[in-house]
Amino acid sequence: MSLRLGDIAPNFQAKTTAGDLDFYEYLGTGWGVLFSHPADYTPVCTTELGKTALLQEEFAKRNVKVLALSVDSLDKHLGWIGDINETQNVTVGFPIIADEDKSVANQYGMIHPNASETFTVRSLFVIGPDKKVKLTITYPASTGRNFNEVLRVIDSLQLTANYSVATPANWQEGEQVIVVPAVSTEDAIKKFPKGIEVVKPYLRYTPQPNK
């Protein structure tokens, strides 16, 4: 199965390091990040989970709940968390799914047979409050993810969900945004009282409306 943008993210029940969990109940009415790891006790994964733990407050500020997954056992997860906390100087406070039967991995297309028939690749999904997939990113096992980029994209997704804007290349929170083509310049002037900069009829900037 391959999930695409706009698809409903499948619900599931799973055993995690925080106890039994229903995915939809865990997310509630907020946003979610579900991301997979090839295996426990591996170096790149250890740094990724450490970085995610360091950013737990940043995710919480955005009403985002984080959930990790690998196909190893719950006992291995619990032991590995001790290593992550020790080596990365963090406290992992989010659940890690023990997906030993690969049921969640298969629902989300996290196993790519040409890369590995047994281990998950580094898949990441951002799920909106409507339980739809808003973002998918897939990395090979050898390359660690940039979680600051994940936060940047979430900022963009949450902004553009509420305003008729898009974000330009390399956009960061607080910078100018682009008025979407569906809004005429006349309407944009009324909609965005901070002002409109018209570079081309199709390229119009305005200050971030929620700042």
- Spell out where 41-90 has E strands: 64-70
- pLDDT in the model for residue 121: 58
* d(C-alpha 80, C-alpha 60), whole Å: 23
Q: Give the mean pLDDT of 153-177.
A: 97
Q: Could you confirm whether 199 is annotated as catalytic?
A: no
Specify the pTM.
Answer: 0.92
Domains, in order of start, for the chain:
13-145 (3.40.30.10), 163-206 (3.30.1020.10)
- Token match 């994940």: residue? 150
Phi, psi for residue 83 in degrees, rounded to 5:
-65, -45
- Residues 175-184 pLDDT 10s: 999 999 999 9
Which one-letter amino acid corresponds to residue 134?
K
Active-site pick, 9, 14, 33, 45: 45
User: Does the pLDDT value for residue 188 go beyond 50?
Assistant: yes
Please say whether the beta carbons of 152 and 169 come within 8 A: no
* d(C-alpha 186, C-alpha 175), whole Å: 22
Which one-letter amino acid corresponds to residue 37?
H
Can you state the percent helix, strand and coil of the chain, rounding each to 5? Answer: 30, 25, 45
